[in-house]
Amino acid sequence: EELEVQVIETFKKKLGADHPDTLTSIANLALTYRNQGRLDAAEELEDNPSTLTSVANLAFTWKAQGWSAEAIVLLRQCEQQSQQVLKAGHPNLKSSLTVPEQWQTV
């Protein structure tokens, strides 16, 4: 855990908070917290606007790979988390609310 926290801080300084490597490190720390039974700490890390952006990006990748049903489910989960984390009017929230409907009509 201590090493993961150090890695995250280093990545944030060197690469930035939104860099994929930084986000991966945050996700790894969340898994460590979950394995330790520290669910509140894990949830805090997962309910981060940058992390939610990564989840949404994964849904778009799945959609592009032809996994539409899975992508819609993932994006809906991201939508639910985004509504709890992001303020009304946030551009990411607007996108996560409209895209699943667009995908289902195609």
Residue 92: inside a domain: no
HSE-CB of 20 using CA atoms within 13 angstroms: 4
Residue 32: inside a domain: yes
32-91 pLDDT, tens digit per residue, is 998 999 988 887 887 777 777 777 777 888 888 888 888 888 888 888 877 777 676 666
Residue 64: inside a domain: yes
Total domains in the chain come to 1
Q: Which domain holds residue 63?
A: 1-87
Residue 103: inside a domain: no
| Cα 38–Cα 57–Cα 9 angle in degrees, nearest 5 | 45
State residue 14's pLDDT score: 96
Residue 56: inside a domain: yes
2-17 pLDDT, tens digit per residue, is 999 999 999 999 998 8
Residue 15: inside a domain: yes
Q: pTM for this structure? A: 0.56
Residue 78: inside a domain: yes
